Chain A
């Protein structure tokens, strides 16, 4: 059963996340992933695939730390 208070907490969390400064990391992740991948491949196909993997890895790494810090707080 989902209690209204839980839903409220969840909504507040996502609302705060939506307006949080964490979104400033998005252009940085895109640029870092693409440039890093471009220094390791020559063709655009492998560059984009490598950039996607790097971007997912960075996002996952940040998400793990985000969850840890959120749980601690």
Chain B
């Protein structure tokens, strides 16, 4: 249960377990870096969150989304937008996390002109307009997703202890001195 909650919203699994400080830390770090990536991957004209989208189709396999989905609920609007686009319905919120318009091998849009999403930018336009910020946004959102995998593991199995507890050794030494 805690692992599922940790996936759903970073830190929620720890909050459920009563580990409030770690919950806050995970939420601030992971959601913060994810939100920064969403902000970098867009602008007021194109819409925000353009680097987070679900697209597994002939013209593109968006593999970074596999990492981005690790953030959980904040990455799920991309699935909703992809479903709407594949069903021919207009995407929400000005294209927030919407997949780019599909293109053929010549770079022409494959959607019919009367399609509700024909005006959505192509991947070429996104890369041209956002330039390096598209890659930075992809990086930040991917890192957020991968960090949440660590947080999920922590919620499910507890912290990975690197340093053995020293307190257990001290009573043994005192016992030896008492005996001697």
Binding site for B on A (CB under 8 A): 21, 24, 27-28, 30-32, 34-36, 38-42, 44, 47
**Also in contact, A38 and B26, with CB within 8 A (given A24-B136, A28-B143, A44-B21):** yes
User: Interface residues, chain B, CB within 8 Å of chain A?
Assistant: 19, 21-22, 25-26, 29-30, 32-33, 36, 132, 136, 139-140, 143-144, 147, 150-151, 153-154, 159-162
- Given the known interface contacts A31-B143, A32-B147, the answer about A38 and B136 at a Cβ–Cβ threshold of 8 Å is no
Majority secondary structure, A binding face? helix
Q: Give A30 to B151 CA distance when docked, in angstroms.
A: 16
A52 to chain B, nearest CB (A): 14
> Which one of A24, A31, A39, A47 contacts B160 once the chains associate, using CB atoms below 8 Å?
A39
Q: Report B159 CB to chain A, min CB distance, Å.
A: 5
Chain A residues lying within 8 Å of B161, measured Cβ to Cβ, are 40
> Do B136 and A31 touch across chains, with their CB atoms under 8 A apart?
no
Contact of A39 with B33 at beta-carbon distance under 8 Å, contacts A34-B25, A47-B25 already known: no
Chain A residue nearest to B162 in the complex (CB) = A40
Q: Which 9 A-B pairs have CB atoms at the shortest separation, nearest pair first?
A: A31-B29, A31-B33, A35-B147, A39-B154, A39-B150, A34-B29, A35-B29, A40-B160, A40-B162
Further contacts, 5 of them, CB under 8 A, given A28-B143, A31-B30, A36-B150: A31-B144, A39-B151, A39-B159, A42-B22, A44-B25
